[in-house]
Amino acid sequence: MTTNDLFTPIEIGPYTFSNRIFMAPMTRCRAPENIPTSLMATYYEQRGTAGLIITEGSQVSPQGVGYPATPGIHSEAQVEGWKVVTNAVHEKGGHIFLQLWHTGRVSHPDHHGGEPPVAPSAIAPKGEAATYEGMKPFVTPRALEPDEIPGVVEQYRQAAENAKEAGFDGVEIHGANGYLPDQFLRDVSNKRTDAYGGSVENRARFHLEITEAVTAVWGGGKVGMRLSPSGAFNDMSDSDPVTTFTYLAGELNRFDLAYLHIVNALERDIRHGSTVVPPFRLREAYKGVLLINGGYDKTSGNEVIAGGMADAVSFGQLYIANPDLVKRLETDAPLNTPDPSTFYGGGEKGYTDYPFQE
Ligand SMILES: Cc1cc2nc3c(=O)[nH]c(=O)nc-3n(C[C@H](O)[C@H](O)[C@H](O)COP(=O)(O)O)c2cc1C
């Protein structure tokens, strides 16, 4: 019997990806006016040897914006901008999924003409929002009215249509990291008393409705879902995360998705006292392709695949600094070190100027 590792091709939906070294979604704040640029096309094209690129979060609507200079997928100009990106990646022989994003309560009135951001419940997270004038304390969001929620689901459906027009190979729903769907899912941020709050079935409803809407556009095999069961980022927690996340993972089986993408407990989550959901609990609950993320390197990535705990691994920071990560891992070449001061915002420096292996 042969053992799979990071370099074994993998079939997902209609695609065969040439390796399991996927690029994790990463916001880089280099899209002025929220429109993707040709510099972004260069950045993604440089990383085109990844088995699959998952783009940075891309807002499904103006209401979904929560950070400066992040790209959207709700206007014609944005679709045109993304076309340049998808063409560049395809020319390199790569595959690219767009991450669909709505930041919900972790936005700021500065991004919404002075109006508060929206959320399942009017509960302000602890922490600060990123604005064009720097960091500002989070405000209390406005709870979405029950009759507004179908409109937000429609924003996801339309964004999925737009992503198709922009030439993507699929989309990933950003259901993780304390953004709008995660705010519905976890009981720290959802105190609703209607069909979207209370029981785990109700709190998972928003995830499942947007999954329904997006898979209606793309078919299940071209749609991924990202979840962070152990994540404390954006002031998140849940009173019973194992039950919450295994329930949702089980319900997702019926969509025959491209993959479920799990973010492991990161160092900062553990520091914030998060309850760790062991990845094997999701592996048991979810029957399809499992993509895992969070602090992996070549050795631990090969181990998690060989051990059957995941089918592929996504790498974040290593891809920031190593456009040719696949080749470097293959040849055990030294890795460039990422520079956190250039993660968010700026131009080519720390973005498209990391050297390729000689
Ligand atoms: C600069 C930066 C931006 C990020 N932006 C996103 C994002 O837009 N969407 C998302 O789901 N995760 C985002 N993440 C989280 C990463 O996808 C990943 O979960 C994290 O970096 C841990 O993986 P790693 O240890 O391989 O870097 C971001 C991480 C970094 C470092």
pLDDT of 1: 59
Please give the Cα distance from 296 to 302 (Å, whole number): 9
Residue the block writes with tokens 């600094």: 321
Tell me if residue 299 falls in helix, strand or coil. Answer: helix
**Segment (H or E) for 342:** none
pLDDT greater than 80 at residue 2: no
Q: What is the mean pLDDT of residues 2-24?
A: 96
pLDDT digits (tens, 9 = 90+) for 48-82: 999 999 999 999 999 999 999 999 999 999 999 99
On whether the 10-342 domain is CATH 3.20.20.70, my answer is: yes
pLDDT digits (tens, 9 = 90+) for 242-285: 999 999 999 999 999 999 999 998 888 888 888 889 999 999 99
Distance from the CA of 121 to the center of ligand 1, in angstroms? 26
pLDDT greater than 70 at residue 357: yes
Please give the Cα distance from 302 to 9 (Å, whole number): 13
Distance from the CA of 98 to the center of ligand 1, in angstroms? 14
From 156, 179, 296, 319, the catalytic residue: 179
Residues with Cβ < 8 Å from 254, sequence gap 6 or more? Answer: none
Tell me the pLDDT of the chain averaged across its residues. 97
Distance from the CA of 161 to the center of ligand 1, in angstroms? 25
**Mutation test residue for ligand 1: of 22, 26, 56, the one with most atoms within 8 Å of CB:** 26
Residue the block writes with tokens 């920071």: 317
- pLDDT band (50, 70, 90) for residue 324: very high
179 is catalytic: yes
Looking at the CA of residue 174, tell me the nearest atom of ligand 1.
Answer: 11
Please give the Cα distance from 151 to 349 (Å, whole number): 39
pLDDT greater than 70 at residue 334: yes
Beta carbons of 47 and 356 less than 8 angstroms apart: no
Ligand 1, atom 15, lies closest to the CA of 26
pLDDT of 271: 85
pLDDT digits (tens, 9 = 90+) for 106-154: 999 999 999 999 999 999 999 999 999 999 999 999 999 999 999 999 9
